[in-house]
Amino acid sequence: MRVVTSCLVALSLLTVSTLSVAQERLDRVAVIVDNNVVLESEIEGLTRQIKRDAESSGRSLPSDEALRTQVSERLILQKLQMQMADRMGIRIGDAQLDQAIASIAADNELPVEAMQAQVEADGYSWRQYREDIREQMITSEVQRAQVQRRVYISPQEVSNLIRLIDEQGDSTTEYNLSHILISFQNEQGEADEDAARRRADSVINRLNEGADFAQMAVTSSSASNALDGGEMGWMSENTMPTLFAANISDATEGSVIGPLRSGVGFHILRVNEVRGADVFTAEEVNSRHILIQPSVILSDNRARSMLTEFREQILAGDKSFAELAEEHSADPGSARNGGQLGFSDPAAYVPEFQQRVNSLPIGEISEPFRSSHGWHIVEVLERRTQDVTDQRKEDQAANMLYSRKYREELDIWLQELRDNAYVEVVR
């Protein structure tokens, strides 16, 4: 009996050992990143996705070894940012995620169900797609929180840019750019500027010989968009990083620019397309509203029903909009003016309010609707199309400067995040 028992125990241990080995072959730790890990399955999954995308778009890819390096670096940065999100308490709930996915579907002019079918037809898991979007939203929040405080824009910079825009007139040139960053760091994580310069010169030579820029970006770039072929999209000289703007004037379609030295490495640009920007005009609306804010003593339903009653009184002629706004609106700035907000760009309002004033016919009072401020009814009094005002120019200049500096600081911050992390590739 003891012999049988011993055999069963030995067989059991052998089975467990065999299963463990099989499981280890299926998945294992590929990279240790501070207090987290990158699994082999994550590297293989992202690699498959990139290969499918490249095949569907007809884009060539580098060797599997080079692609694995880029995929690993992207996952390392994702892990570091997700760890920071945990420390900062940043979470994206299902309701917020659903809203973001609905927005993506709307941008693609698809119902969510049709987009899900399309995602699954491309070989992706819808559940994993949702989690990928959630992670992108979280990392965007982390980047915004960490980078925007590093961006300072002086009033003098805004004034100088406004003057430059006025000198250029309304027609400014925009460039569709792709980008390769050759980091100063070598494979051992040490700064070696001379070696980086040689790598950058080698990349330039290969591009001049006709090498595909997107493939070279995947193979050689240390930038966060390397796996996207280095695509940066459309930018004017006022929104791109200062280093790029200083070297791109009069560049033509197909031009390769660089290497350009910055604090993190050497940059190489390709101008994919050039176009003139459209003349900007803004449609402004003059509207008035009544705001009721729910509270501990005023329920959400009661706030809504109050506005329903107010609307009925106005339509019946029992009360005027101005009277009710002055008596009841929780927006003190407009209440004293009968609820009037004056002419404004709808984009300045929260999304729910913006949607209403954009869609309402002039003179019609909306049904009660909810925004982040509370419950509203609103009436559009007038619409007008305006040339860009001085205030609008100031806002536009500030946004351009912020966009430029944010891009610059984001690259530096990501490099610092990577440099300060403990990363060990498990062989």
Instruction: For the chain, give the longest Cα–Cα distance.
Output: 99
In CATH terms, the fold of domain 30-149 is Triger factor/SurA peptide-binding fold (1.10.4030)
Closest CA to 66 of 243, 215, 230: 215
> How does pLDDT run across 166-195, given as a tens digit for each residue?
776 544 688 999 999 999 987 666 788 999
> How does pLDDT run across 119-162, given as a tens digit for each residue?
998 888 899 999 999 999 999 999 999 999 999 999 999 999 88
Confidence of residue 414 (pLDDT cuts 50, 70, 90): very high
Q: What are the CA-CA distances from residue 381 to residues 60, 313, 374, 387, 400 (Å)?
A: 56, 19, 22, 20, 32
Same fold, 173-279+395-425 and 281-387: yes
Q: Is beta strand 173-183 parallel, antiparallel or unpaired with respect to 374-387?
A: unpaired
- 373 vs 350: CA distance, rounded Å: 9
pTM (2 d.p.) = 0.54
* Overall average pLDDT of the 214-233 stretch: 89
* Overall average pLDDT of the 307-334 stretch: 95
- Domain boundaries of the chain, sorted by first residue: 30-149, 173-279+395-425, 281-387
Extended beta strands in 126-201, E state: 173-183
Token pair of 352 as six digits: 């729910």
Give the pLDDT confidence score for residue 86 in this predicted structure.
Answer: 92
The DSSP output letter for 280 is: P
Q: What number does CATH give the domain 173-279+395-425? A: 3.10.50.40
| Location of structure tokens 């420390």 | 87
Q: What are the CA-CA distances from residue 414 to residues 139, 268, 294 (Å)?
A: 11, 19, 42
Amino acid of residue 180:
I
In CATH terms, the fold of domain 281-387 is Chitinase A; domain 3 (3.10.50)
Give the pLDDT confidence score for residue 26 in this predicted structure.
Answer: 59
Give the pLDDT confidence score for residue 33 in this predicted structure.
Answer: 93
Please say if the pLDDT value at position 8 is more than 60.
no
Contacts 24+ apart (CB under 8 A), 78-82: 78/135, 78/139, 79/33, 79/34, 79/36, 79/37, 79/38, 80/33, 80/34, 80/417, 80/418, 80/421, 81/138, 81/139, 81/142, 81/143, 81/417, 82/36, 82/135, 82/138, 82/139
Please say if the pLDDT value at position 54 is more than 90.
no
3-state DSSP call for residue 298? coil
> How does pLDDT run across 260-300, given as a tens digit for each residue?
999 889 999 999 988 875 445 678 899 999 999 998 899 98
| Location of structure tokens 């009841």 | 328
